[in-house]
Amino acid sequence: QVHLVESGGGSVQSGGSLTLSCTASGNTASTNCMAWFRQAPGKEREAVAALYVTIGRSYYADSVKGRFTVSQDKAKYTMTLQMNNLRPEDTGIYYCAAGHLVQPANHWAVMNQYTTWGQGTQVTVSS
């Protein structure tokens, strides 16, 4: 089993920055992809960004391209999401997820591809 612990988040004004981290422990060898999803009040959970950790390739939702950057520290099995130029519509609970995906390039944004989820961390962006 894989266990995920998230940190970071908080409140910031529009245009500000925040950093989220997710550290995986346990049977990390079973994981080839880690991702961030978010859920705004009254909306469905959506994919934000992902890392194909095996080869270090990243994927982004169109809404965050150019503003968010996902990176990894493989030694610590930690994934970091640097969020810049935040907007009110970025507000929500951000969840870290991990799994072993077939063709991550095609399926990184699909929720049911991930078998382990973090507890979530709140991000609030005020205008």
pLDDT tens string 51-86 = 999 899 999 999 999 999 999 987 778 999 999 999
- Residues 127 and 117: their CA atoms lie apart, in Å, by 30
Least confident of 25-34, 35-44, 55-64, 104-113: 25-34
Q: Average pLDDT of 6-28?
A: 95
State residue 46's pLDDT score. Answer: 98
Q: Residue 96 has which token pair?
A: 């870290």
User: Do 63 and 115 form a contact (C-beta atoms < 8 A)?
Assistant: no
Tell me the three state secondary structure of residue 29.
helix
- Residues 12 and 16: their CA atoms lie apart, in Å, by 6
- Average model confidence (pLDDT) across the chain: 95
User: Do 99 and 52 form a contact (C-beta atoms < 8 A)?
Assistant: no
Q: Average pLDDT of 3-14?
A: 96
- Residues 114 and 26: their CA atoms lie apart, in Å, by 16
Q: Residue 62 has which token pair?
A: 């169109």
User: Do 87 and 14 form a contact (C-beta atoms < 8 A)?
Assistant: yes
Give the model's confidence band at 22: pLDDT under 50 very low, under 70 low, under 90 confident, else very high: very high
